[in-house]
Chains A and B, each alone.
Chain A
Amino acid sequence: MPESYPPAPAPRTLRGSPAPAPRPARFGSRLGRHPVALAALAVLAGLTAACVFGPWLLPLPPDQVQLDAIRAAPSWAHPLGTDDLGRDILARLLHGGRYSILIGVLAALLGTGIGTLVGGVAGYAGGRVDGALMRATDVAYAIPALPLLIVLASFTGASPASLAVIIGLLSWMTTARVVRGEVLALREAPFVLAARGLGARPARVLGRHILPNALGPIVVGGTLAVGNAIVVESSMSFLGLGVQPPTPTWGNMLMDAQASMAAAPWLTIFPGVAILLVVLAVNFLGDGLQDALDPRGRVR
């Protein structure tokens, strides 16, 4: 593109303010000024890469029993020690992280998708549809989530895939409420009225004009949902009602750790640190995204 063209003016809505949808350049620089969020992103990327590639690089498979190294304390050979069967904790941690992170991401995607759909339809349709969908949301909110998840997981068998689906199916309520609020605020905005006046169908108005402008809260909610899903999965596995051994996850590693808590505290400490790191990083990233994506937020 020739350099001499004048830069395109920022798109404006009929309200006369710049279009609220965040543009990549501004979004990038805004997140760039949030060093904690950037560090969180780096930690997440590093941990994910370690979980994806680490198991290939380590000398030991996660299920290798070593009878001569039972409950070995952390050392050069086993940086995070070994468990009751002499299995290497680092190998198990990285291998288990694949499941934990994958379940977290899939469940968050599914839950955020459902929540966006429910909240979008409720907010845009209004009236009885809105009432019915929001009452359904109230009902889903009132039933204690963890016990219900445990019962549902017992029906499907607690494979990582089915856990991701079940957790996703039961974590849409917050997104639904937030998205509904956003849609209500945007429904009568001039650019939506214009789209409607041009004859766009409801699905198009909602999908192309309203929801892109509500992307900020959706992305933030989806990010936080990843951390939440990881905690839920690990809680279920910790109770022995989630992912079953021998498949290692951070939750069921902690379940195993209870038996030898006093003799081998590293079994209790490291998987929990992994969960804490991921969830903290996800929360900090969510905070940073909120600042960067919120069109009403102050530009720092």
Chain B
Amino acid sequence: MAAFTLRRLLQAIPLTLGITVVLFAVLHLAPGGPEGALMATGRFPDPEVVEAYRQRLGVDRPVPEQYVRWLVAAARGDLGVSYSTARPVSEMILERLPATLQLMGSAFLLAAVLAFLVGTLSAVRPFSWFDHLGTGLSFLGIAMPVFWFALLLQLLFGVWLGWLPLSGTGAAGGASGWARPAHLVLPAAVLSFRYVAAWSRYLRASLMAVLGQDYIRAARAKGLPEWRVVVGHGLRNALIPVVSVMALHLATLFGGAVITETVFAWPGIGRMFVTAMMARDYPLLMGILLLGSVMVVLFNLLADLLYGWLDPRIRHA
């Protein structure tokens, strides 16, 4: 397992480097390059900021050298200075990171739990009314644009029923300890819906295939209770393909967070991204994109390791 872990870690390094090359290129695609973009913001920033940028970017140096400088600085956690606030980008990102992790984490957990419940129940009783309902809702969940689902839930639970707060975190009201969780319900539900839809279908298909295997019949013949057959023998094997799908989908979770945070005024990185875009704050945008990409690489690494743990055959392949 140690060698396997090391191999996967080493594979993640070129991937991360490739990402930095693309992001650096994107930054230089900005009209007039990063410096031109700074001037184009037209907010007459502090001359000191401009000068600091000239030096840091080394605009007169060859582009590969600029890339290496940028990379070295980024590796040290120096992602540059925001055009709009003149504060270090890394500081601004760290400030917002907890809120985003809270949202993404709860959405992920919610999606995983619901998908497992729905997927397992559908696979155990295929073509029952519950299974058909699940299939129908899944088609809906996969086709439903995140932002529209957000608006509908706001309309239903916030405006018409008045059960849940429309947006924000409730921090400003100085309200009780339940304010933040209550504010988290709608965003997390919105962000998780499409993953519940997709993962429950994958799990259903996978578990149905597994439940037809001989070792399941053997487990039943041994006289194991049905729930132990399904959970202990079925789910563990059915999980393997689902885990890799879940990791692939995590790449879109960040994009979903951008939309969800904006609709619900959740003070995370996604909302900061939209504000930064309105202000053409390219260093901040690049910092956020870099963070999002690194998160995806990490999640995939984690999934690979989980995969190796769930299915020992993978490690020796």
Contacts and interface: CB of A to CB of B under 8 A. Distances in A.
Contacts of B254: 144, 147
Contact of B151 (A150, A272, A279): A272
Given A139-B15, A143-B22, A276-B145, A152 B300 contact: no
Nearest to A282: B143
Interface stretch (A71-79, A180-188, A234-242): A234-242
Given A147-B292, A276-B144, A138 B151 contact: no
B19 A280 contact: no
Interface in A235-265: 235, 238-241, 254, 257-258, 261-262, 265
B233 interface: no
Contacts of A269: 152
A297 B35 CA distance: 56
A275 interface: yes
Nearest to B299: A142
Given A135-B15, A258-B151, A268-B155, A145 B252 contact: yes
A112 interface: no
Interface residues of B, number: 47
Contact of A147 (B19, B144, B289): B289
B258 interface: yes
A279 B143 contact: yes
Nearest to B296: A142
Interface in B140-157: 140, 142-148, 151-152, 154-155
B151 A146 contact: no
B145 A235 contact: yes
B152 A146 contact: no
A109 interface: no
Given A142-B293, A231-B145, A241-B274, A135 B14 contact: yes
B155 A261 contact: yes
Contacts of A142: 15, 19, 251, 293, 296-297, 300
Interface in A105-157: 135-136, 138-148, 150-152, 154-155
B126 to A, nearest CB: 17
A283 B26 contact: no
Contacts of B280: 154
Given A139-B18, A142-B296, A280-B139, 6 more contacts: A143-B23, A146-B258, A147-B292, A151-B285, A235-B145, A239-B262
